[in-house]
Amino acid sequence: MTDLKESKISSENVYKGSFLDIRKDRVTLPNGKTSTREWIKHPGAACIIPVISDGNIALIKQYRYPVRSEMIELPAGKLDPGEDPEKCAGRELQEEIGYTAGKLTFICKIHPAIGFASEVMWIYLAENLTKSAKNTDHDEFVKLLPTSLNDAVQMVWNGKITDVKTIIGILWAERLIS
């Protein structure tokens, strides 16, 4: 088996935004030839599966501009510089749905878009929730959708939920909670 690793020759910062960098790298391929790789440098994120006191999970609905659609999702958010993923999960839980977790359990780590982004996402199960004040960002609008786990799983299988982190989180929740 041939080594599949590609080696960076050069890297150009095509665009630097407030939270994403778009890069264009020149690479050496495993066969010795060269090519380019365009990719997005992402700070990472945390995703939370919140189990509320009635046993439902707290999904959210929000408009996602890139796909021009309201999406049903699990709460999630990007890591601040140097932030631990577990701390991010706790912060995002409070900001997006107004709860704090008595118990946060790491479930898995995923790479949501390996073809064009460096994003790593850590998924946590949040239990023993306590109501707190919701504190969304100034440009973030979310609607809380408490949903039974069975209904959430059906929304995955019937295509109502298409967000990858949410699909993975719900299927993990089904395995862990059921």
DSSP 80: P
The token pair that represents 152 in the structure block: 């959430």
Residue 140: pLDDT band by 50, 70, 90 thresholds?
A: confident
Q: Which long-range contacts (C-beta less than 8 Å, at least 24 apart) are formed by 76-79?
A: 76/45, 76/46, 76/47, 76/48, 76/121, 76/165, 77/45, 77/46, 78/19, 78/42, 78/43, 78/44, 78/45, 79/43, 79/44, 79/45, 79/46
Nearest residue to 27 (alpha-carbon basis) of 41, 39, 17, 16: 39
Which tens digits make up the pLDDT trace of 30-59?
A: 999 999 999 999 999 999 999 998 989 999
Which tens digits make up the pLDDT trace of 88-111?
A: 999 999 999 999 999 999 999 999
Contact 81, 44 (CB under 8 A): no
Contact 75, 125 (CB under 8 A): no
Which tens digits make up the pLDDT trace of 149-162?
A: 999 999 999 999 99
Contact 131, 58 (CB under 8 A): no
pTM above 0.85, yes or no: yes
Tokens 């590609």 found at: 6
